[in-house]
Amino acid sequence: MTHYKSKPVNDKGFVEWSSEEDSIWHDLITRQLPLVKERACKAYSDGLAMLNLPTDRVPQLPEINQVLVEKTGWQVEPVAALISFDKFFELLANKRFPVATFLRSREEFEYLQEPDFFHEVFGHCAMLTDPDFAHFTHVYGKLGMQADAKQRVYLARLYWFTVEFGLVEESGSTKIYGGGILSSPGETLYALDSQDPLRHRFDIQTVLRTPYRIDIMQPVYYKIHDIKSLYQLSELDLMEQVAQAMELELLPPLFEPKEMTHA
C-alpha cells in the first residue's frame, strides 16, 4: 500500500504541480544528472538529451510524449499510485508506459519504495527512445498479458534484472541502463563503484531463477552484451524459458529475509 495519491490530469494531459513539487524535482534531477553522466549507457544518455527534461520544474506528460511517439511510437500514461499487474501488462502491450503522477515528499527524498514520477520519467523514459529497448518492453507486456499468476512471478524477475536494474557492456566498460539504478543516487554509485555486489554475465535461466528484494541495494546485477541484446532476447520463446525455469529450483537468495513485524 502507499500513502501517495496521483494528481489529476486535465483534458490536455497536464498536471498542476505545486511550487514545492517543482523544487523537489529540481533538487532530484540536479543531484542525479552529474552521477549518471559517465555511468549511464549511450542509449540512455542520447535519450535524455532528446527528452531535454527541464530542471526548474516538473515536466509535463505531453512534452515527453512528443519525443517518445516520434522515436519509437511509445507514450507515457498517467496512472494511480499503484496499479494491478493486469493493467501494467496491458499498458506495456499497447506501448503505454505507466507513470504515477505523484512526486515523493521531502521526508522521503532519499529513498522511496514505490515508483514516483521522478523514477518513472528520469529513470525509464530516456531508454524508451531506443528502438531495441522499446521493442523488448513491448514484447514483455504482450507476454505478461497472456501469462498466468505463477508465470508472471518469473517474468517479474526478468523485468527486474533488465528494465529496472540492468547493466550493459559498452566499449570495454560496464554502464547502466536500468531505471531503478539511474533514478537512485545511492544505487548509481553502488552498482558500478562498490566492491560488494556481484556483476554476472546475463543468462536468461539464471535471471529467471534469481530471487530479489525491492527494499535493499541489489546484491547481484546482470550485464548484457549490448542494448541490441534486448531485442534478441525478445525474439526468443521466453515463455518456454519460463517453463524451463519453473521446473528448476530457485537459486539461493543472496540476502537476508526481510524481518517480519507483528502488531
Predicted confidence (pLDDT) per residue in 63-122, tens digit = 999 999 999 999 999 999 889 999 999 999 999 999 999 999 999 988 888 899 999 999
pLDDT reported for residue 263: 39
Establish how many alpha carbons lie within 13 A of residue 1's alpha carbon, considering only the half-sphere containing its beta carbon. Answer: 1
Q: What 3-state DSSP class applies to 255?
A: coil
pLDDT reported for residue 38: 96
Question: What are the structural domain ranges in the chain?
Answer: 19-247
Give the Cα separation of 122 and 110 in Å (integer).
15
Bridge partners of 9?
Answer: 15
Q: What is the architecture, at CATH level 2, of domain 19-247?
A: Orthogonal Bundle (1.10)
Q: Which of 6, 77, 120, 124 is catalytic?
A: 124
pLDDT reported for residue 23: 98
State yes or no: is 119 an active-site residue: yes
Residue type, 246: M
| Residues 89, 144 contacting (CB under 8 angstroms) | yes
DSSP per-residue letters across 66-132: HHHHHHHS-EEEEE-SS--HHHHHHHHHTTEEEEE-----GGGSS--SS--HHIIIIIIITGGGSHH
Q: Which of 6, 183, 229, 234 is catalytic?
A: 183
Characterize 77-107 residue by residue with b for buried, 16 or more Cβ atoms within 10 angstroms of its Cβ, and e for exposed. Answer: bbbebeeeeeebbbbbbebbbbbbbbbbeee
Q: Which residue has the higher pLDDT, 138 or 260?
A: 138
pLDDT reported for residue 3: 84
State yes or no: is 164 an active-site residue: yes
State yes or no: is 183 an active-site residue: yes
Encode pLDDT of 39-74 as tens digits.
999 999 999 999 999 999 999 999 999 999 999 999
Beta-carbon count within 10 A of 49 CB: 11
State yes or no: is 124 an active-site residue: yes
Confidence check: pLDDT of 262 > 70 = no
| Residues 202, 241 contacting (CB under 8 angstroms) | no
| Residues 102, 95 contacting (CB under 8 angstroms) | no
pLDDT reported for residue 1: 59
Average pLDDT in the chain = 95
pTM of the model: 0.95
Encode pLDDT of 158-193 as tens digits.
999 999 999 999 999 999 999 999 999 999 999 999
Q: Which of 77, 164, 170, 187 is catalytic?
A: 164
